[in-house]
Amino acid sequence: MTTTMGFDSKGNARRSPWRLNALVCCMALAGYAQAAPHEVSGQAGDPASWRSAEFNANWGLGAIHADEAYAAGYTGKGQKVGIFDTPVNRHPEFAGDGKLINVVTEGYRAYTDPHRPGINAGDRFYFDGTFHFYSGSQGMLSNHGVHVAGISAANRDGVGMHGVAFDSQVISVDNDNDGPAYGEFLGLDGAVTNAGWQAMIKSGVRVINNSWGVSIPDFLSDGGRDPNALHFELKDAQEQFDQVKPLLGSLAGAGYQGAIDAARKNILVLFAAGNDGNYNQPDVISGLAYFVPDIAPNWLSVASVAQDATSTNSVPYTISSFSSRCGYTASFCVSSPGSKIYSTVANGSDPANLVSDYGNKNGTSMATPHVTGAVAVLLQRFPYMSSAQIADVLKTTATDMGAPGIDALYGLGDDQPGQSHQRPGHVLYRRRYSCGVPHSGSDGRGLRPDPVCRQYSGSGRRGGCRHAARQKV
């Protein structure tokens, strides 16, 4: 059974900031982002003009310097953002032709859920975006997916708030998670979850947001906040994987296999690191790329940071008290805003009469869609890059937080305010980029050299760009 990585506005558990200078790295000022017609448009080259009340409603946008990306002309336009979560409803923030697509999945359950009475193996499931109202662990609707989707992609319409990639399209697939969950890590229903993974793969998304996870043992939960207690560590995640590995390729392990399949299809898979406290490390599904190394280039784990004016870091943020540390995932983990995040919600007790609203939530669930939205903006800017190369840009433009270098708490860290990256970051190892960008009548191949990429590589030739990627921890 899945576990959502979020808390409500009261701090009740279920279960980077790197900044968007990653988005302006290698950016030439090309094009104008479009604001809503009734709203004063942001101006190209002027980040301050994008800091509207709607922008400031979610402090995370300012923390990752999304305004700099918008001023450079990049808003996620034309990109599909995959939200694998509870359903996303027809909130006004997702209005517009094709803005929100709820993908239908159906089949027969493979798992009897001990925490949700009436959910049994062999039962038929049909998910089309309709909200769930379960009588089990929560007993009410979960608006978790609505909140997550808003952080990534809510419209810039002059109302409420807007998402990081406000011009992107939301592809919503239901993971059948009713909110707070207490399932075992082998409790993923392979039929339901794999149907979702395969639907995502077929939808054409280049990035999938997963603000959920699986449980760690109860006796280790308290260790996340007590340095003297036992903690969930690499050896514990290894024990989980040792039980998952024999199931890969079978229905029982299909929830994990689907994630692996997606990463192997050039899709960037993002997972919340978990809400088990700063001393605990991510569960096996968030850290799956550690155990299946070939998918690591297309995988990111995301920890949460909070505003902290007293922080000794080079930026006024520190790891959220609830957030799991990056730990063994540090080489593919970034940190992003996840505390007191204002976004879209739906309220009510009747699926036919839900009320669209806004509210604050806390969790690595909220940190992850900030990164997902950033990926969408980068995909607009760099359509010639693979998903792994997009991940490289994010990782190598992160500014150090915590202990020097890639560290167990923040992973690759945060792009600190004030820095201005004009190209991919420090070279950890070299990788060739295809430096051409789509342009008719350019070099006979529908490509023209990217001028910023040419500046970095010293060559205008396609493939002449070199860039960084991973570093051993």
Confidence band of 33 (pLDDT split at 50, 70, 90): very low
pLDDT at 269: 99
Q: Which of 258, 261, 256 is nearest to 244 (CA)?
A: 256
pLDDT at 137: 39
Bridge partners of residue 431, in order along the sequence: 467
pLDDT at 428: 42
Tokens 């939301």 sit at which residue?
170
Query: Residue 324 and residue 177: Cα distance in Å, rounded?
Result: 21
Q: Which of 204, 166, 133, 167 is nearest to 344 (CA)?
A: 166
* pLDDT single digits (tens) 55-84: 999 999 999 999 999 999 999 999 999 999
* pLDDT single digits (tens) 371-380: 999 999 999 9
pLDDT at 29: 30
Q: Indicate the range of 50-59, 328-337, 438-447 predicted with least confidence.
A: 438-447
Q: Indicate the range of 89-93, 135-139, 355-359, 440-444 predicted with least confidence.
A: 440-444
Active site residue 91: no
The answer to whether the beta carbons of residues 351 and 86 sit under 8 Å apart is no
Given the residues 67, 85, 113, 450, the one annotated as active site:
85
pLDDT for 27 beyond 80: no
Q: In degrees to the nearest 10, what's the CA dihedral of 142, 308, 162, 40?
A: 160
Query: Residue 93 and residue 61: Cα distance in Å, rounded?
Result: 16
pLDDT at 336: 95
Domain chopping of the chain, boundaries: 3-426, 427-473
Beta strands in 184-330 (DSSP E): 207-210, 212-213, 268-272, 299-307, 317-319
pLDDT at 184: 60
pLDDT at 161: 98
How, if at all, do strands 436-438 and 447-449 pair? Answer: antiparallel
Residue 438: which residues within 8 A CB-CB, separation 6 or more?
Answer: 383, 384, 446, 447
Q: Indicate the range of 86-90, 224-228, 305-309, 462-466 predicted with least confidence.
A: 462-466
Q: Indicate the range of 52-66, 165-179, 406-420 predicted with least confidence.
A: 406-420
CATH fold for the domain made of 3-426: Rossmann fold (3.40.50)
Query: Residue 149 and residue 429: Cα distance in Å, rounded?
Result: 34
pLDDT at 444: 33
The answer to whether the beta carbons of residues 71 and 178 sit under 8 Å apart is no
pLDDT for 41 beyond 70: yes
Given the residues 16, 168, 339, 365, the one annotated as active site:
365
Query: Residue 155 and residue 96: Cα distance in Å, rounded?
Result: 9
Which of 2-6, 16-20, 47-51 is the most confident on average?
Answer: 47-51
Active site residue 276: no
State the chain's mean pLDDT as an integer.
80
Which of 22-36, 179-193, 413-427 is the most confident on average?
Answer: 179-193
* pLDDT single digits (tens) 301-350: 999 999 998 888 777 899 999 999 999 999 999 999 999 999 999 988 77
Active site residue 144: yes
pLDDT for 139 beyond 50: no
Given the residues 65, 91, 144, 370, the one annotated as active site:
144
* pLDDT single digits (tens) 90-119: 899 999 999 999 999 999 999 888 877 788
pLDDT at 402: 84
pLDDT at 292: 98
pLDDT at 20: 53
